[in-house]
Amino acid sequence: MKFTCTYMAVLVGALVALSVPACGDYILIDFGPAAAGSYTNFDGTHYWNNVGGNETITSLRDSQNTLSGVQLSVAGATGVNTWNAGETPDPNLNGGLFAFDSVTRDGLYNNAGVTASVTLSNLSISATYNLVLYGSRQDFERYTTYTVGAQSVELQTGYTTGTGFNSNHVVSLSGLAPDANG
């Protein structure tokens, strides 16, 4: 009951939303320097899991602060950084759900040519999942490719014009099914 998302880029998404379409439940994950395994409520409604690097969290909280049983493991990340400090995301980023500078200012990264992975396990094998990913790096044109199984999407995370900050784009991987072995 798991699937692994591998990425190879300079930056991994600062934010991830994992949703089960049939249930409407979701798990929000903020990658950055916050204390590992802690969680934050930015808007008084939705809870975010904080992931601070290469680590395992045995039960992520869903957006309503209930332990989900879903496990997350990060391996191969080079580190975390707060490149976008002082930048403000679009208030409509992912329907307003990601519109907090506290979650868009930081993220995990890899050095060039390094592949890392984020593994989610203890997922229901009778459900399908959607991943919504956001990443940004303020400085120059950059791209991050996210791959789960045969699906792959690319997000432009940095720009050479304007602020260079991705303030309003996300990518999605939809209908993901965990393998039978977990």
DSSP state of 95: G
Say what the pLDDT of residue 135 is.
Answer: 86
Residues of the chain predicted below pLDDT 50: 1-12
Say what the pLDDT of residue 152 is.
Answer: 92
User: How far apart (Å, rounded) are the C-alpha atoms in residues 157 and 136?
Assistant: 4
Say what the pLDDT of residue 12 is.
Answer: 44
Say what the pLDDT of residue 59 is.
Answer: 92
What does pTM read for this prediction?
0.84
